[in-house]
Structure 1
Amino acid sequence: MNRTYSMMKNKAPLLYFLFVILFLAGCSGTNKIPKDELLYTGAKIKIEGNEPSKKERKALKTELEPLIRPKPNSSFLGLRPKLFFYNLAGQPKKEKGFRYWLRTKVGEPPVLYSKVDLEYNKSVLQNYSENNGYFNTKTIADSTRSGKKAKVTYTVTPNKRYFIREVKFPQDSSAIASIVRKTKRRSLLKTGEPYSLEVIKTERERIDARLKEKGFYYFNPDYLLVQVDSTVADHQVDLIVKLKTDSPKLSKLQYKINNVVVYPNYSINSDNVSTSSDSIVKYKDFTIIDSENLFKPSIFDRALYFKKGDYYNRTNHNLSLNRLVNLGTFKFVKNQFKVADTIGNYLDAYYYLTPLPKKSIRVEVLAKTNSANYTGTELNLNWSNRNVFKGAEQLTISAFGGVEVQVSGQNNGFNVYRVGTEASLIWPRLIAPFKFESSSGFVPKTKATLGYEFQNRTKLYSLQTFKGSFGYLWKENERKEHLLNVTEITFASPQNVTPLYQEQIAANASLEKVIEKQLIFGPTYSYTFTNTMQKRKKHTFYYKGSIDLAGNVTGLVSGANIKSADTVKVFNVPFSQFIKIENEFRHYLKLTEDSQLASRIIVGAGFAYGNSNEMPFIKQFFNGGTNSIRAFRARSIGPGSFDGSTDANTFLPDQSGDLKLEFNTEYRAKIYGLVKGALFLDAGNIWLLKENPDKPGAKFSKDFINEIAVGVGAGLRFDFSFLVLRTDLAFPIRKPYLPDGNRWVLDKVSLGNSSWRNDNLVFNLAIGYPF
């Protein structure tokens, strides 16, 4: 038996070698190619001739390569694993199961040489070259065979490139020619630039867009002609912009708006609309036909930009449609323009609006977990009225209840129960003593909210919180948004404080802040900019800046700004005075179609003054958790080098601070199908502005960089389109609470050690991306 084992051991390398050879042979993909077929392995482009410069030849080659069809089977180091799995799966008997999935999802069928159209590819390459100024280009194609494989070489011989010498615009005296001529200053056709058919097409669209802004509703780019004269000079062209003589008469007419007719209760399934006299309402320049009197006419005056006598323009056309949709009241918005019957060169505008159901109810059941090992569920019940006062106002009343339980860890048994309600009312206008005009497609809104929450932390305390706010929301455009709460009020009152929590307060006085009665009121403002919706851009950004001014006016009136021994109270509760500023900046770098590098920086500061010695606990900053530094449990980091862990017999309190600094970066890439992967690094901490004897090392100092916590990890994201389920596994590599000089713990990482994993690995389960 020993001898047999020894022989097998000696032959093992040979067996492995044979297995690798067989695998590589399978990956080549030629073993199952039909008898009279060849596997197409791709194409090569050669640019010959000395007329274009070396730089031009290189650029032209780069532009031509993606145009060739079909694309060969994907390969890696000369192997074709997808084709291998396609062949391995064979022909499945039914359209489901593992074999079907392996063949259709993991594998890909062979790309055969018989599917390659040489003449078509030649014409594509030649047309592209000539459309970009390389006139009279010659293209040939040649294929070569090697065993069961075939590849193609396309040889492109371009002539010297043509450049634009002069651009001429229409010179006649017609209104349309005059407007076309005035667009010349912003023309995309520029002297000295290379000839490009694509730029000519774009220029026609640019001129058409300009004409649409000047009332030429029936014009389109096809009615413009750009003639090319290549005889004017050596490898130069003149471009002559003309209006086609056979274009329709309507396209040359400049139209104004006549009647604006609105049907606010239109059924998309029926073309019949009521026109009885009792259903027609005249309001300013509008005619509203609403037999059920569902909406106040004034909402259409605010939403529609067209007024009688205005020239038609596409900007107002689109803004009006966007505003009607943005009201949130209509399911479908349809628009139509017709030439007026009673007056020349005028258009009647019709708006057909299909309302959403006025009232609706929604029930949501949520499951959640976080890195503090709390898991739980929440039930939300929402009732909405989308037109409560007939002015497209939206009233929402919600009730919620939930429980969070820690299944393991030091907070096991300290369960959290929440129940509450909130009412919000949104008006599609600004209710203010001043007049506000917005030229964006987004309706400015006024929002008022009122809410109550009861939270019970078993074995510790209960907390009642009342909230209210009144403010304005408006968007300049799809990238810029403003939110101004004229006042935002929070009143928190503790109840049922247990002896256990009182004992903890005696040991750590800072815990008393959590259960203090708090009255916070004052204005808040935030500004958001983002261009992340522009998917084609390589660099996209997101920025949000906010400021919270609590008790500033009341402090001036009451004299609380002048420091005295007495604390000023409102309704027998000291009101908070502070300034809080927070900035969040994100950058997204697109690496490929399926990968990106996402980074975020958060900087925040809060300063208490006047009537307050410290920032209110609920307004302070926190760090750690599923959307923060994922290698540490939620709200556990800092402040500074302070170690917030306590004995195993007690709970772990949340750590808060007056200053916050956080940095995150994450590499995201598609793995397969809906599964995406990520590698990430998180760093940051919080600090106090003042010394706290109960939290040594918590004050911000010039050595703050030495107190940064750092964590790394990896995760999976399951993108189901309607939601993203995220799983992250992280561990710390720098612990700020360790003695100075020993805070980097990268050398102590031991993934194979169960004790190390138990103490350091943190699993996060969440919905959506962290940023």
Structure 2
Amino acid sequence: MAKNRRGRRVRKFFIHIALISLLGGAFFSCNTTKHLQQGERLYEGGKLKLKEIESSKYKKELERDLEEVNRPKPNEKLAGMRLGLWANQKVKKEKAGFYAKWVNKRIGEEAVLLDQVNINSVQKLMKNRMENLGYFNSEIKYEIVEKKRTGYIEFEISSGKRLHIDSVHYKKVGEQKVDSLILNYLEEEMPIKKNEAFSLQKLKETRTEIADYLKKQGYYYFSSNNLIFEADTLSTKKENEAIMELRIKDNASGLALVPFKIKEIHVFPKYSLDTSEGASEADTTVLNEVEFIQSEIFFRPDRLYPYLFIKEGNYYNSESERYTNKRLNSLKTYRFVNIRYQEDSTFENGNGQLTANIYLSPLNKRSFRSELQAVSKSNNFVGPNLNFEYLNRNLFKGGEALRLSTKVGYEAQLNGREINAGLNSIETGVAAELIIPRMVTPFPIEEKFRYSIPKTKFKLSYDLLNRSQWFNLNSFLAVYGFEWNPNIFVTHNLNPVSINYISVGNESEAFEKLKKANPFLARSFEQQFIPGLSYNFQWSQLVRNIKSNRFYFAFSADFAGNALALAQNIGGVNGDDKKFWGQSYTQFSRFDFDLRNYQNIGKESRLVSRVFAGIGLPYGNSVSLPYSKQYFSGGPNSVRAFRIRSLGPGNYQSPDSTAGTGFFDQAGDIKIEANVEYRFPLISFLKGAVFTDAGNVWLKNADGRDGKFTSNWINEIAIGSGIGLRVDIEFFVIRLDVATPLRKPTNNGFQWQDSFEIGKKSWRQENINWNFGIGYPF
């Protein structure tokens, strides 16, 4: 019976939504068509009807290309309403109010009429796109369908059979080396497979790939425009097959067929257009046959030379040029990196000769920056931060960057729609960071990272956190680590030395009482010396908008106390309460996995999904993870239907959550979470979202609460859904989400929400959760 009642409520809800959409659509549609002149009809678009397509794969490809030239596009609809057209007509014909003017300014559009469509032009464009895909015997018919105030065009397209490529042959040009290289590329790489469907785009890509290959072999002047494909359909045995002949054009420049070698290399480490620094005004230092020209030592030649992949006496190589440019830019010392080649008039052994001039225009060596930030953290703390930073980009004349910073900030925790005054805090801190653009290790490993742009980081910092009504926290951090990027998609971070010392002082009576009542919390604040090693891996396709379906994956591993415990065990120090300089230290391992998918739907909408799993394993000296390393669930970047840190561990429910102590109680050693969010445009920079979140945290070891991780964990997953608004102004996003639980912990375990009594204030206070954030949740 309860199921039936719940089903009836859901059906009733969707019926109401459908009625509102239909009535709204009818209202705005009538309002937009009534302003048309006699005989005018709104254009509803071109409807494509494809016939005789060989496979569904080909059909999707053809539909995509044809839709690109199916112009003009009709007036855009939102839930059946031509809102942009309505606003435009309202402003033109009547006295428009503020809303209509505002909408018109952002998405207003003129009426797209049926008689404005140039059908012949559309047919020609469609025919061209079909020929580009190998449909050379296609036929396009059309029918104009007129309704009372609207109309559309139905295109009936018979594609015919698609041309396939039997084989690819290369016609030799007579230059033995060029002929040999092209033939070798076609045989080894096989860019076009036998019986592959004809595609003009694929032929263009093949020409570009061959040109790039020749440029890597010294052919400086060679380009894809020197190549041409010609189709032979008469010499094949089957119908709709062609032999593609690749050849070099007759009018190709003679220099395109000449390989070039690097004769000299000149590097200008401090080049400026104002001074036009040249050899006559500057000193020249020669290192490994490379001339470094600078009036004073701005960048040491021995430090700059390893970034150069261009070598004297080698053939010109476009890839070496690209790597050189990439590595020099990675220094963050230079504003511009410009590599120019000067051709020598003489030839040597049939090879041309080039002089490589590398012009490096530096950024200001020193800079000072102050900024006021609005900060939103994952634990729902928000507030202003004032930061000051001094940066020296070339400290020891080898690209070393020294960053000195200080900060002061005030934070308050937003708990739903309220500010939790008991958790307000003031944070101050100072930090010094030295970044060296190479591997600094006791043993030589630089050559292994030659293409990866490695950096070594040394960091020292001190932070003081004054958490109102609870405690003061002093944190000292020392880090020695490395970062390198094998390519633009992958980033590695390895910190072999990470030492964090935390001392808690000025504890309030309320905090002392809370620790006595919660041994788990007390233990997590006891062990404050964290010597460790950490590693982070990130693979992201988000750096380039090259695919409609992109992925992001991150993995991190954090190990604490292992090396120190091993050294003490070897030294004969045993037991589970080892100390270092009289201070207990933490021992644990922690692993995090974060997988995300970003699926574009149309031009601006996107479906984003995320799965996160993390586990912390305390051992040896530790019974629980340090408080700063524990997991929590609930909040603006987590399960948004629940307040910050209000979920878990397991089925545990804090009896003092209204007093703010749930912030300390509800953390765990294990976390599993999943999110899915549909993001779509509304008006201009205003975006909307619909989302569902699920997750929880658990404890590894039981502590008296109902929160230990067991095989029944799947039945302890909380679920919530909601909607959101985002003000998205390029790199700055302000986010407001509202959500309600669908499945939540109760005294009888996790239960599905069986009623949504939005009209009741008490229900809303308990079940509606507001989240404010800066930036997207994931």
SS of the residue 1:182 aligns to: helix
**Which of the numbers 170, 188, 192 marks the counterpart of 1:189?**
192
Distance 1:281 1:754, change over 3 A: same
Which residue of the partner structure matches residue 423 of structure 1? Answer: 432
CA contact (8 A) 1:440 1:476 kept: no
Superposition deviation, residue 93 in structure 1: 11
Instruction: Report the Cα distance in structure 1 between the residues aligned to 2:317 and 2:383, rounded to whole angstroms.
Output: 54
1:323 aligns with 327
Counterpart-to-counterpart distance in 2, 1:77 and 1:486: 55
Cα shift at 1:20: 9.3
Kept in 2, the 8 Å contact 1:122–1:141? The answer is: no
**Does the 8 A contact of 2:524 with 2:624 survive in 1?**
no
Report what 2:122 is aligned to: 121
Q: 2:700 aligns with which of 684, 689, 703?
A: 689
Show the counterpart of 2:244.
239
Decide whether aligned partners of structure 1 residues 133 and 689 sit closer, same or farther in structure 2, where only a CA change above 3 A counts: closer
Name which of structure 1's ranges 417-426 and 291-300 shifts more when overlaid on structure 2: 291-300
Q: 1:153 to 1:692 in 2, by over 3 A?
A: closer
Shift of 1:497: 2.0
C-alpha distance in 1 between matches for 2:62 and 2:219: 39
Q: Which moved more, 1:404-413 or 1:172-181?
A: 404-413
Kept in 1: contact 2:106–2:683 (CA 8 A)? no
Q: How many correspondences in the alignment? A: 745
Q: What's the counterpart of residue 14 of structure 1? A: none
SS in 2 for 1:557: helix
How far off is 1:59 after superposition?
6.6
Residues 37 and 447 of structure 1, relative CA distance in 2, 3 Å threshold? same
Please give the alpha-carbon distance, in whole angstroms, between the structure 2 residues aligned to 1:593 and 1:139.
28
- Give the drift of 1:339: 1.3
Compare 171-180 and 434-443 and name the one that shifted more: 434-443
User: Of the candidates 283, 288, 301, which is equivalent to residue 284 of structure 1?
Assistant: 288
Structure 1 residues 688 and 248, CA gap change in structure 2 (3 angstroms): same
Rounded Cα–Cα distance in structure 1 between residues aligned with 2:212 and 2:49: 40
Counterpart for residue 656 of structure 2:
646
1:194 is displaced (CA, Å) by 3.3
The match for 2:211 is 208
1:35-434 correspondence runs (5 A) = 39-45=42-48, 60=62, 63-75=65-77, 80-90=82-92, 100-113=101-114, 115-135=116-136, 137=138, 151-152=152-153, 154=155, 160-171=161-172, 172=174, 174-185=176-187, 186-233=189-236, 234-268=239-273, 270=274, 272-276=276-280, 278-341=282-345, 344=348, 345-368=352-375, 375-405=382-412, 411-432=420-441, 433-434=443-444
Matches within 5 A, 1:521-540: 521-540=531-550
User: CA 1:245–1:445 in 2, change beyond 3 Å: closer, same or farther?
Assistant: same
Question: 1:699-714 counterparts in 2 under 5 A?
Answer: 699-714=708-723
Question: After the TM superposition, which of the residue ranges 55-64 and 247-256 deviates more from structure 2?
Answer: 55-64
Structure-1 separation of matches of 2:23 and 2:676 = 44
**What is the deviation of 1:282?**
1.3
Match of 1:719 in 2: 728
Deviations, residues 586-625 of structure 1 (Å, cap 9, x unaligned): 2223333222222222222222222333322222222222
Q: How far did residue 272 of structure 1 move? A: 2.4
CA distance in 2, matches of 1:118, 1:407: 58
Matched residues in 2 for 1:273 and 1:341: separation? 25
CA distance in 2, matches of 1:767, 1:574: 38
TM-score, normalised with respect to structure 1: 0.89
Aligned to 1:5: none
C-alpha separation between the residues in 1 aligned to 2:95 and 2:256? 59
What secondary structure sits across from 2:472 in the alignment?
strand
Counterparts of 2:156 and 2:756, CA distance in 1: 56
Q: 1:499 to 1:140 in 2, by over 3 A?
A: closer
State how far apart, in whole Å, the 1-side matches of 2:146 and 2:741 are: 56
The question of whether the paired residues in 2 share the 8 Å contact of 1:640 and 1:687 is answered with: yes
Separation in 1 of the partners of 2:46 and 2:658? Answer: 67
CA distance in 2, matches of 1:22, 1:629: 38
Secondary structure of 1:492 counterpart:
strand
* Superposed CA offset, 1:42-99 (max 9, x none): 3345667x7x7587789756643432332232357986443232211217999x9765
Aligned to 1:6: none
Question: Residue 253 of structure 1: CA displacement?
Answer: 0.8
Which residue identity lines up with residue 419 of structure 1 in the other structure? T
- Aligned residues of 1:90 and 1:103 also touching (Cα < 8 A): no
Distance change (3 Å), C-alpha of 1:84 and 1:381 = same
The letter for the 1-side match of 2:205 is T
1:294 aligns to what SS in structure 2?
coil
In 1, Cα distance between equivalents of 2:371 and 2:311: 44
State which drifts further: 717-726 or 626-635. Answer: 626-635
CA shift for structure 1 position 578: 1.6
Q: Distance in 1 between matches of 2:670 and 2:344?
A: 64
Displacement of 1:23:
5.1
**2:7 match:** none
Change (3 A) 1:182 1:21: closer
Deviations, residues 446-498 of structure 1 (Å, cap 9, x unaligned): 00110001111233221111001001101111112111101100001122223
645-654 vs 710-719, greater mean Cα deviation: 645-654
TM-score, structure 2 length as denominator? 0.88
Distance 1:202 1:648 in 2: 63
Give, as a single letter, the amino acid of the residue that structure 1 aligns with 2:85. L
Q: Which moved more, 1:422-431 or 1:290-299?
A: 290-299
Letter in 2 for 1:740: N
Give the superposition deviation at 1:739. 2.1
1:473-512 matched pairs, under 5 angstroms: 473-512=483-522
Q: 1:374/1:311 Cα in 2 relative to 1: closer, same or farther (>3 Å)?
A: closer
* 2:175–2:257 contact (8 Å) kept in structure 1: no
TM-superposed deviation, 1:309: 1.6
How far apart in 2 are the matches of 1:227 and 1:496? Answer: 83
Q: Which amino acid aligns with 1:198?
A: Q
Question: Is residue 656 from structure 1 mapped to residue 667 from structure 2 by the alignment?
Answer: yes
For 1:430, the aligned partner's letter is M
SS in 2 for 1:429: coil
Alpha carbons of structure 1 residues 88 and 239: separation in structure 2 relative to 1, 3 Å: same
Q: CA deviation at 1:183?
A: 1.3
Partner Cα distance (1:452, 1:201) in 2: 57
Q: Contact (CA 8 Å) 2:50, 2:158: kept in 1 or not?
A: yes
CA distance change for structure 1 residues 262 and 710 in 2, over 3 Å: closer, same or farther?
same
Q: What is aligned with 1:3? A: none
1:173 Cα deviation (Å)? 5.2
Q: In the aligned structure 1, how far is the partner of 2:155 from the partner of 2:579? A: 85
Q: In 1, are the aligned partners of 2:284 and 2:293 still within 8 Å (CA)?
A: yes
Structure 1's 371 and 79: CA in aligned 2 closer, same or farther, altered over 3 A?
closer
Structure 2 CA distance for aligned equivalents of residues 285 and 256 of structure 1: 14
Aligned residue for 1:8? none
Shift of the alpha carbon at 1:648?
Answer: 5.6
- The residue matched to 1:415 in structure 2 has which SS? strand
Residues 571-582 of structure 1 mapped to structure 2, 5 A cutoff: 571-582=581-592
Distance between the aligned counterparts of 1:759 and 1:235, measured in 2?
A: 69
1:595 aligns with 2:605: yes
Alignment check: 8 A CA contact 2:29 2:82 kept: no
Alignment partners' CA distance in 2, 1:539 and 1:138: 34
Are residues 718 and 649 of structure 1, via their aligned partners in 2, closer, same or farther at CA, if it must alter by over 3 Å?
closer
Q: Which moved more, 1:611-620 or 1:148-157?
A: 148-157
Q: What letter is aligned with 2:327?
A: R
Counterparts of 2:23 and 2:501, CA distance in 1: 75
CA distance in 1, matches of 2:42, 2:653: 65
Gap change, CA 1:735 and 1:109, over 3 Å in 2: same
Where structure 1 has 5 or more consecutive residues not aligned to the other structure, the ranges are 1-16
**Amino acid of the residue matched to residue 238 of structure 1?**
I
